[in-house]
């Protein structure tokens, strides 16, 4: 009986514990008016995003307990919403998260989770 309890406790913590996704990527940035750009394959943004702006982040895989931290320079992103992403067979493959940033000046978009940096390649003017 003790073995069953220990095995079930181990499986429960393994499944619902600290899960790590396969990848987290910054995919878009836009201003309050909705004018923006795709930043997946760029190193530097074309437009200036000073003041308030929004970033979209894609999480490949499953994330149960927390959201990634997103910063642009010294501006920390505030989580707004989450949209599940499905493939053509109706299987959930990831999620798209929206973050709002205040007082953005310039700097790199940095996406991290549990202290591990996943994406930091795009420089925001």
Tell me which H or E stretch contains 10: helix 2-16
What pLDDT sits at residue 24? 94
Reading the chain (125 residues) residue by residue, the pLDDT tens digits are 677 766 766 666 665 555 668 899 999 999 999 899 999 999 999 999 999 999 999 999 887 778 899 999 999 999 999 999 999 999 999 999 999 999 999 999 999 998 899 999 899 98
pLDDT in tens, 13-24: 665 555 668 899
Report in angstroms the alpha-carbon separations of 31 from 12, 72, 73, 100, 123.
Answer: 42, 13, 16, 10, 15
Q: Where are the beta strands (DSSP E) in the chain?
A: 23-31, 36-38, 51-60, 69-72, 75-76, 78-86, 92-104, 107-113, 116-119, 123-124
Catalogue all structural domains in the chain, each as residue range(s) with its CATH number.
Answer: 21-124 (2.60.40.2870)
Q: Is the pTM of this model over 0.85?
A: no
CA 104/CA 122 separation, integer angstroms: 14
Predicted pLDDT at 8: 67
Residue 36 structure tokens: 């923006």
What integer pLDDT is reported at residue 63 of this predicted model?
79
CB 83 within 8 A of CB 95: yes
């Amino acid at each position: 009986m003790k073995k069953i309890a220990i095995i079930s406790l181990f499986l429960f913590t393994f499944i619902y514990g600290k899960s790590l996704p396969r990848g987290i990527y910054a995919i878009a940035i836009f201003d309050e008016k909705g004018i923006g750009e795709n930043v997946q394959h760029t190193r530097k943004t074309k437009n200036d995003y000073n003041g308030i702006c929004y970033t979209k982040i894609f999480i490949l895989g499953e994330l149960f307990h927390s959201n990634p931290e997103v910063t642009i320079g010294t501006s920390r992103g505030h989580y707004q919403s989450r949209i599940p992403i499905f493939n053509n067979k109706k299987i959930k493959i990831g999620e798209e998260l929206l973050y709002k940033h205040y007082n953005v000046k310039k700097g790199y978009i940095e996406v991290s989770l549990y202290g591990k940096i996943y994406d930091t390649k795009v420089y925001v003017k």
